[in-house]
Amino acid sequence: MPEKAFGKVVQRLRKSKGLSQEELSSSSGLDRTFISRLESGLRQPTISTIIKLAEALNVSAASIVAEVEDILHEDQQN
């Protein structure tokens, strides 16, 4: 499920930067509850959302997508 994989990636990146959901919300311009739902796999991101999160996390949108693809590929092999 891509939504769950995306959520895992965002949560990992956020925590690795030492950010709370509230701090990521502030720097990305996205609502904290929306970020929570993304991380839980309950919401599907748009391209715009991916770009905002990437900028706030100081990573490329492509690297986020690549990491999601890696997780999905691993899940398919298991």
pLDDT value of residue 52: 99
What is the pLDDT at residue 77?
A: 86
pTM score, whole prediction: 0.91
Residue 30 in tokens: 């996205």
Residue 76 pLDDT > 90: no
Domains of the chain: 2-77 (1.10.260.40)
Integer CA distances (angstroms), 50 to 33, 66, 76, in order: 16, 12, 23
Condensed to tens digits (0 to 9), the pLDDT of residues 31-74 reads 999 999 999 999 999 999 999 999 999 999 999 999 999 999 99
